[in-house]
Structure 1
Amino acid sequence: MFKSLSLVTLISIASFSAIAAPVVSGNASPESKVCAIAAEQGLSAARAYGAKHGVFVSRFSKTLECNGEDIRSFAKQAQAESANTEAKVKLVAKNSTVATELCLKAAKEGLSSLSKLRHQTRNLKCNDLPVKQFIKNINNTAI
């Protein structure tokens, strides 16, 4: 009773992200490097790097501008944009058999949705995994 489902990974990007538009330093100055670090790793990492190279970044007052914007808001915006990138998984049935439909139902509604069909699901395998293991794997992925 080996029936299969395909997991198709779709990447949805809500806005520009660090992956889509990597941050590049305009020059080799420590200030440019601090701005790049702020965009990629956050304000704390930029402050630590800056302190080692004589560029002091305040958490409370405007001390450095990155692309014409205060470093604090620049870092916050870059972190928010990279957080908007998320991977989603879509379940696709390879065939229309009863076992495949049961696997889809279990993945979408949970294992308890199959409780009335115990005799059909006792040896059910989804993607060559026992249905319980398959559901655990699905639950660790955003659908």
Structure 2
Amino acid sequence: MFKSFTVAALISLTSTTVFASEAHSFKADDASTISRVCEVAANQGLSAARKEGARHGVFISRFSETVRCNGEDIRTFAKTQSEVQTEKQASKSKLVAKNSSVATELCMKAAKEGIESLKVYRGQARSLKCNDLPVKQFVQQINKTAL
């Protein structure tokens, strides 16, 4: 019964691209080499900080604490700042129905509430397609996207 293809679209509300001015949220308080290395670790990651440090004779160990940034080991500091920047970059999307058919409504329900919400429609849901994908695959794809 629900074999017709239904179309729902994901509309991106914000861009996932972060421009250089947004990504560089940390500035060194002074001109010391350690401060510069910490700034690079926060903005570009540990690998870039290692390279920057090596250029100035500061070697960052992979296993033992050698440099501290804002009171914590540079490895932990770089990882924490990377996670914070990733959260800032996260794309927010909104699911929008292109039409008001029953099939589209079921696709929307499955995307928002999960595939289990269609159990009462067992037979019809098996053949349901959303955006040219089987409903189960569609829901998995939606779950990978930040809503």
TM range (shorter): 0.5 to 0.7
Distance 1:140 1:39 in 2: 27
Aligned to 1:91: 95
1:52 and 2:60 aligned: no
Q: Give the number of aligned pairs.
A: 131
Distance 1:111 1:130 in 2: 11
Give yes or no for contact 1:5–1:94 (8 Å, CA) kept in 2.
yes
**Structure with a larger share of its residues in helix:** 2
Greater shift in the superposed pair: 74-83 or 121-130: 74-83
Q: CA RMSD in A?
A: 3.8
- Deviation of 1:142 after TM superposition, in Å, equals 1.9
Q: Which structure 2 residues correspond to residues 1-143 of structure 1 after superposition, within 5 A?
A: 1-11=4-14, 19-23=20-24, 31=33, 34=37, 37-42=40-45, 45-55=48-58, 59-60=67-68, 79=82, 81-85=84-88, 86-143=90-147
In the alignment, structure 2 segments of 5+ residues that lack a partner are 61-65
- Deviation of 1:112 after TM superposition, in Å, equals 1.1
Residue type matched to 2:119 in 1? S
SS in 2 for 1:11: coil
Q: Percent identity?
A: 51
Distance 1:79 1:18 in 2: 15
TM-score by length of 2: 0.64
SS in 1 for 2:91: strand
What are the Cα deviations for residues 34-68 of structure 1, in whole angstroms up to 9, with x where unaligned? 465223223564244313332568524x8xxxxxx
Distance 1:119 1:2 in 2: 16
Aligned to 2:63: none
Distance 2:126 2:116 in 1: 13
Structure 1 pair 21–142 and aligned structure 2 pair: CA distance change class (3 A): closer
Structure 1 pair 20–5 and aligned structure 2 pair: CA distance change class (3 A): farther
Write out the 4+ residue segments of structure 1 that deviate beyond 3 Å after TM superposition. 17-20, 29-36, 42-45, 55-58, 74-81
- Deviation of 1:136 after TM superposition, in Å, equals 1.5
Residue type matched to 2:122 in 1? R
Residue type matched to 1:9 in 2? S
